[in-house]
């Protein structure tokens, strides 16, 4: 299978009425420009979400204004110029097939129509209709007739279908076709079956294909995906929290599989005239590289085949910024000694506020962590500390693995109701129920007060009640005088704290901390620094020295540690997404003038510390297993490499 160094993905969905498809397309020019950017992998549309094919198909509909085999010309040029080509087909959407075969569409439950008309989702497909065989036949047709390396199948979402075929299938399988959850689950299983059939068909023709099924949660078909591609347009609806959450997680699903980091040169899908600045694209790409993800920038193909010279200039510019670090990024594996836990990904992961917040807090603290799915195969032996934010469903499998981790004498930090209910014995507490107030406070003492002022602090989130059994009562919850509500005559709006209570805010049993307050939700709500410092203090209290300890790098700097044979590489990323009106953007690279941190590397002997790629020496001092490093002044991105033995 092709291993991607630099990718490009071209979006291209063209309405039936466009009169000029392929009119000015020059496959030689296009592929020469791709080569100029140093790209070795291209994703390009063979059939779009409008149901239009761009190749000579006997099964589907070639765009009526296209007079030749556009995809074929491109495939031929890619082959000659050594560019791996993956054919894009939309799996879940197809206007043309829907208009010709309305019986192939999703039949939504009454009152559950999910999409409007002026959207690519105006028609969605039923995966149990003859569309299924039609899609597989087109895939086979392309695999047999064009030199493609594989397929990218898009939009395989759970469109809840209650057509006759699906209802009969649900009845047979024991689903309740009148319940939305059952219908969605039936569709999910139908999608998985479709992916299995596509994979089997492709493998008959391409023995070691590149194959990725998009728009279903990462990991759902992890044995069928031969690579992962993380689609994220930060200004196009995904925001700047999505990539960090996914970057920490995807690399653990199947550590041996390559992960691509897809973003657009534009601001949103369908934005033909957008061109993000180099700093903005650099940020996304450097963040991905620092997590082992290879770059995959997306462009928009003008259906006419316009020559977008300025776009290629920008893509070439960005990739030239990344390429100088190839020797340090290619083949590097991320190191992590902390795990953030989640059961498995069923569309909820990036919508989970506690998870999003935990990723942000740990990133800001420079903790080296993985986001791991407890239901998946990856072992947890490497982790010294598990973090279990509030609201996370604790499955039997997760509980069993947490117990094993604790039995090995390792640490956990857990919050809120679910942990108190499921892990009471392990945490030394008994859960006593939810608290009805709207506002909570807490006070701290001892080790927990480091860098936190001595005062009553706000939680900005819910808290629950528990009593200690064999845990230490570390800090009390402070209740408010009254609830924030209308009392019939007066608004109880201003809610001062009353007194410390005998309800614990924090408990500790050995190196197991439980917090009765939802601190991750609190940080998500207000970004209050005392909550992040508190998390830092928890970590210091239970885990011992972690792989990386921040000394004075600013909060906006992101740091990851990667390993190659004989080397430990530290990625320092300094950009700061800024809210501007209705969107959040990156314009500038930030300068970092003061950047000390410590690496704890037991068993490793540090021979040199240099800046890549120049090889300039970096100031450092060794103390036992620790090495304290002072990053030189840098802007945007720096890579510090330690030669070790």
Which residues pair with residue 634 across a beta bridge? Answer: 592
Q: What is the DSSP string of 265-321?
A: SSSSTT-TT----HHHHHHHHHHHHTTTEEEEEEEE--TT----HHHHHHHHHHHHH
CA–CA distance from 72 to each of 25, 76, 284, 412, 506 (Å)?
12, 6, 32, 55, 64
The smaller minimum CB distance to Zn ion, of residues 103 and 498, is found at 103
What is the Cα–Cα distance from 450 to 547, expressed in whole angstroms?
Answer: 20
Within 8 A by CB and 6+ apart from 288, the residues are 230, 243, 247, 261, 294, 295
Query: Cβ of residue 135: shortest distance to Zn ion, in angstroms?
Result: 14
Query: Cβ of residue 199: shortest distance to Zn ion, in angstroms?
Result: 22
C-alpha 188 chain-centroid distance: 20
What is the Cα–Cα distance from 354 to 535, expressed in whole angstroms?
Answer: 13
Query: Cβ of residue 231: shortest distance to Zn ion, in angstroms?
Result: 26
Helix-then-strand count for the chain, H and E: 16, 37
The smaller minimum CB distance to Zn ion, of residues 129 and 543, is found at 129
The smaller minimum CB distance to Zn ion, of residues 166 and 355, is found at 166
SS3 129: coil
Query: Cβ of residue 49: shortest distance to Zn ion, in angstroms?
Result: 19
Within 8 A by CB and 6+ apart from 85, the residues are 41, 42, 44, 74, 75, 78, 79, 146, 147, 148, 149
Tokens encoding 400:
């069993």
The smaller minimum CB distance to Zn ion, of residues 104 and 218, is found at 104
Residue 272's φ and ψ, nearest 5 degrees, are: -70, -30
The smaller minimum CB distance to Zn ion, of residues 128 and 356, is found at 128
Query: Cβ of residue 115: shortest distance to Zn ion, in angstroms?
Result: 16
The smaller minimum CB distance to Zn ion, of residues 84 and 126, is found at 126
Residue with tokens 């924030």: 484
What is the Cα–Cα distance from 334 to 592, expressed in whole angstroms?
Answer: 23
The smaller minimum CB distance to Zn ion, of residues 166 and 531, is found at 166
CA–CA distance from 286 to each of 142, 278, 323 (Å)?
34, 12, 11
What is the Cα–Cα distance from 54 to 69, expressed in whole angstroms?
Answer: 7
Sites of contact with Zn ion (CB under 5 A):
126, 128, 161, 163, 166
Query: Cβ of residue 102: shortest distance to Zn ion, in angstroms?
Result: 12
Query: Cβ of residue 106: shortest distance to Zn ion, in angstroms?
Result: 6
What is the Cα–Cα distance from 502 to 565, expressed in whole angstroms?
Answer: 53
Q: How many CB atoms lie within 10 A of CB 549?
A: 19
The smaller minimum CB distance to Zn ion, of residues 126 and 463, is found at 126
- Asked if residue 389 lies in contact with residue 338, where contact means CB atoms within 8 angstroms, the answer is no
Q: Which of 78, 48, 254, 272 is nearest to 152 (CA)?
A: 48
Query: Cβ of residue 158: shortest distance to Zn ion, in angstroms?
Result: 12
What is the Cα–Cα distance from 294 to 322, expressed in whole angstroms?
Answer: 10
The smaller minimum CB distance to Zn ion, of residues 58 and 172, is found at 172
Query: Cβ of residue 217: shortest distance to Zn ion, in angstroms?
Result: 21
The smaller minimum CB distance to Zn ion, of residues 191 and 332, is found at 191
Query: Cβ of residue 187: shortest distance to Zn ion, in angstroms?
Result: 8
Query: Cβ of residue 167: shortest distance to Zn ion, in angstroms?
Result: 8
Q: What is the DSSP string of 494-542?
A: ---EEEEEEEEEEEEETTEEEESB-HHHHHHHH--HHHHHHHHHHHHHH
- Asked if residue 12 lies in contact with residue 48, where contact means CB atoms within 8 angstroms, the answer is yes
The smaller minimum CB distance to Zn ion, of residues 104 and 523, is found at 104
Query: Cβ of residue 13: shortest distance to Zn ion, in angstroms?
Result: 24
The smaller minimum CB distance to Zn ion, of residues 191 and 414, is found at 191
Query: Cβ of residue 59: shortest distance to Zn ion, in angstroms?
Result: 21
Query: Cβ of residue 172: shortest distance to Zn ion, in angstroms?
Result: 13
- Asked if residue 475 lies in contact with residue 455, where contact means CB atoms within 8 angstroms, the answer is no
The smaller minimum CB distance to Zn ion, of residues 128 and 560, is found at 128
CA–CA distance from 349 to each of 342, 345, 357 (Å)?
8, 6, 12
The smaller minimum CB distance to Zn ion, of residues 92 and 577, is found at 92
Tokens encoding 402:
């947490």
CA–CA distance from 610 to each of 33, 511, 553 (Å)?
35, 36, 18
The smaller minimum CB distance to Zn ion, of residues 126 and 513, is found at 126
Query: Cβ of residue 150: shortest distance to Zn ion, in angstroms?
Result: 28
Query: Cβ of residue 233: shortest distance to Zn ion, in angstroms?
Result: 30
Residue 345's φ and ψ, nearest 5 degrees, are: -95, 105
DSSP designation for 121: G
The smaller minimum CB distance to Zn ion, of residues 109 and 452, is found at 109
What is the Cα–Cα distance from 151 to 199, expressed in whole angstroms?
Answer: 9
In this structure, the chain runs to a length of 645
């Amino acid at each position: 299978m092709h291993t991607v160094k630099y990718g490009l993905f071209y979006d291209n969905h063209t309405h039936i009425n466009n009169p000029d498809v392929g009119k000015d397309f020059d496959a030689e020019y296009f592929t020469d420009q791709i080569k100029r950017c140093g790209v070795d992998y291209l994703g390009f549309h063979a059939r779009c979400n409008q149901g239009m094919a761009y190749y000579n198909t006997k099964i589907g509909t070639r765009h009526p204004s296209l007079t030749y085999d556009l995809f074929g010309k491109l495939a031929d040029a890619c082959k000659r110029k050594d560019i791996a080509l993956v054919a894009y087909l939309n799996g879940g959407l197809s206007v043309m097939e829907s208009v010709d075969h309305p019986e192939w569409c999703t039949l939504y439950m009454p009152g559950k129509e999910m999409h409007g008309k002026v959207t690519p989702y105006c028609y969605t497909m039923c995966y149990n209709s003859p569309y299924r065989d039609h899609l597989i036949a087109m895939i086979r047709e392309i695999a047999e007739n064009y030199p493609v390396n594989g397929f990218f199948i898009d939009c395989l979402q759970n469109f809840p279908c209650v057509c006759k075929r699906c209802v009969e299938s649900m009845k047979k399988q024991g689903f309740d076709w009148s319940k939305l959850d059952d219908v969605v689950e039936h569709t999910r299983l139908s999608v998985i079956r479709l992916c299995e059939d596509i994979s089997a068909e492709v493998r008959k023709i391409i023995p070691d294909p590149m194959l990725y099924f998009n728009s279903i949660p990462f990991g759902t078909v992890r044995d069928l995906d031969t690579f992962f591609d993380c689609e994220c347009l930060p200004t196009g609806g995904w925001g700047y929290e999505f990539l960090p959450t996914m970057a920490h997680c995807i690399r653990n699903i199947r550590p041996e599989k390559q992960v691509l980091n897809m973003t657009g040169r534009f601001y949103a899908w369908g934005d033909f005239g957008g061109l993000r600045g180099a700093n903005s694209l650099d940020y996304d790409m450097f963040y991905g590289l620092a997590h082992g993800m290879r770059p995959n920038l997306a462009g928009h193909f003008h259906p006419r085949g316009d020559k977008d010279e300025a776009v290629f200039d920008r893509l070439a510019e960005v990739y030239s910024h990344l390429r100088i670090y190839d020797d340090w990024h290619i083949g590097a594996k991320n190191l992590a000694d902390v795990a953030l836990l989640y059961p498995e990904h069923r569309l909820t992961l990036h919508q989970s506020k506690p998870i999003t917040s935990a990723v942000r807090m740990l990133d800001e603290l420079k903790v080296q962590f993985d986001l791991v799915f407890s239901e998946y195969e990856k072992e947890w032996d490497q982790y010294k500390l598990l973090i279990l934010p509030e609201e996370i469903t604790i499955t039997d499998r997760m509980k069993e693995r947490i117990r094993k981790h604790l039995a090995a004498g390792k640490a956990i930090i857990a919050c809120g109701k679910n942990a108190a209910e499921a892990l009471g014995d392990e945490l030394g507490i008994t859960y006593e129920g939810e608290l009805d107030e709207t506002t909570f406070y807490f006070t701290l003492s001892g080790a927990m007060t480091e860098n936190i002022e001595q005062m009553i602090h706000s939680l900005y989130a819910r808290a629950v009640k528990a009593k200690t059994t064999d845990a230490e009562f570390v800090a009390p919850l402070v209740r408010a005088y009254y609830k924030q509500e209308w009392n019939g005559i007066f608004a109880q709006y201003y809610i001062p704290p009353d007194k410390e209570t005998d309800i614990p805010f924090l408990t500790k049993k050995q190196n197991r901390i439980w917090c009765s307050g939802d601190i991750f939700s609190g940080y998500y709500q207000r970004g209050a620094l005392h909550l992040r410092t508190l998390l830092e203090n928890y970590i210091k209290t239970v885990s011992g020295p972690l792989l990386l300890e921040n000394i004075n790098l600013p909060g906006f700097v992101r740091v990851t540690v990667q390993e190659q044979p004989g080397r430990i590489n530290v990625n320092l990323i300094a950009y700061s997404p800024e809210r501007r009106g209705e969107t959040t953007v990156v314009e500038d690279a930030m300068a970092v003038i003061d950047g000390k941190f410590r690496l704890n590397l037991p068993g490793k002997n540090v021979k040199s510390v240099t800046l890549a790629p120049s090889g300039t020496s970096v100031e450092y001092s060794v103390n036992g297993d620790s090495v304290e490093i002072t990053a030189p002044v840098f802007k945007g991105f720096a890579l510090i490499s330690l030669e070790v033995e």
